[in-house]
Chains A and B, each alone.
Chain A
Amino acid sequence: MSRARLGDLASYLLLGVLAVFFAVPFAWLVSLAIRTPAEVYRGAARFIPEAPTLDNFRTILSDPAFLIYLWNGLKLSTAGAALAVALAIPAAYACSRIDFRGKAAVLLGLLAVQMISPLVLLVPLYRWMSALGLLNRDLSVIAVYGALGMPLAVWLLKIAFDAIPKELEEAASMDGASRPRTLALITLPLARSGIASAFILAMVMNWSQFLIPFILLERDADWPISVAIFNFAGSISASTTQLLAAACLIAVLPAVAVFVALQRMIVTALIAGAVKG
């Protein structure tokens, strides 16, 4: 066997072992979620349950509160991601197309603020939201999501804009179009896959957010799914592992499904970001 072939074998061996590590938690979650209470006690002896059941999902999804949590999660993460992208577009455009002093500082600053824990920011923000009467309002969570998602969105959009030839914009501006008009009619449509990547990425991050909605929304009915499952886990006894597994799967699935479906586009954007950044 040639040296290269031996290397291939070693690669597969290594990735195989790692694949087990990365796949087991998902596989086990599914396995637990389709078990009857009796089969939960069989542990590893029944990886594929003897009598697989969808009852756990039925129980979870027949609770109207759970559908509301899912809807809240979708609503908050979509609106927050849209806000982040909207806030990022002008700055990303300026960083891509306009020469100005301090551009490097702006881009570095955007990178640096992402190092600040939301926990640090949330202490004062909680007080301000309270003073403004915005506690328990979706608006407060959406505003914070927009602010937290904006820096990464500026970076990703700047890279997307950089990839669009300036000549296309020059042609439009020679025809007398103003800069904002050129941006809206020429640049944004051409950058749509970059914009979509930034939006989806922000949305997936928001879907995972626990701290912000947990602190800013006190009413059960306003919670997104990420907060709800934490509360759910604290409220049940160990005898309902299969229900918790089903609830977790329902919380995890939308983010994983969207990401996996669109990962080629998102990963391309991220790799471009990693190379430039």
Chain B
Amino acid sequence: METYESIREWKDQHITNFLDDTLSLNDFHDQVMHKVMEIAKSKLKKDSPPCDFTWFITGSGGRFEQGFISDQDHGIVYEISSEENDAYFKKLGNEISYGLHITGYPYCLGNIMSSNPIWCKSLHDWQKQLQQWMEDESFETIRQLQIFYDARVLQGEFGYVNHLKSLIYEYQLAHPFLLNRFSANVSHVKNVIGPMGQILVERHGVYQGCVNLKYAAFLPYVNAIRLLSIKEGIFETSTLARMDRLIQLNDYEKILQNCERNFLDLLKYRLSLFRVASYSDTHYLNIEKLSKIERKEIKRILKDGKRLHDEVITLTSL
């Protein structure tokens, strides 16, 4: 019989086969998580859950952009609230979080996990919660909404998450100010291109001379594309898929120029980091160790990312 420990062992043995491209690596992560879910369900000593539900992951996993290691981000939407159901999914949420932790997905510091009642609710309660978040418009709730927007169904009923996302889309159509709040929430970007066009690197610490790809490169692309997706009601979660859909809308061809290629390159660079850093997760790219061509490429990716981000922020600000 499989245990969390045996899954971890299996995962550690096989994950190295998937370090060549992000898509297959993410498929592999999905497989691992499915296995964890199965064990978690079996541990609750019930043949099947008491009602329909969906288990989604979000964050980089939701966007299909997980690296070698990433912490867990996930939640549950279940059909209907009842004493029995609430108790079951509370237990299941706890069990999944624990199981993922044992299999090598560290607990989420921001507590975006099915074990957190905020991220494990019935459909009706989710609707209420999203509504409240949108009305609140606080920094914290706007952030939660954006995280939710990256939710990708891993198991169970597919319709719930898209239904909930459509609530966000419709609300922002009726209340354009919401989009403005989303935009303001992500408008800060760590600036890594200096006034003289040089790449600004970490000045101190073990990552001296490196550029932080997560904050300087990934986030500008991811945040900008998510903003446009909310605006246009695109429910896909991967940044590349979102770009595909956006380009079809015609309005964004100019803004998105080069972005797809850049983002693919970025994913490649990150995977190469995992290899050289003896598989420890890192977002820090040492600029000095790159060839001249690579350095030029990175600079282009960073610059385009900043441009895309700035243009989208302008577009989505009132």
Pairing of A with B = no
Which A residues are closer than 8 A to B by beta carbons?
none
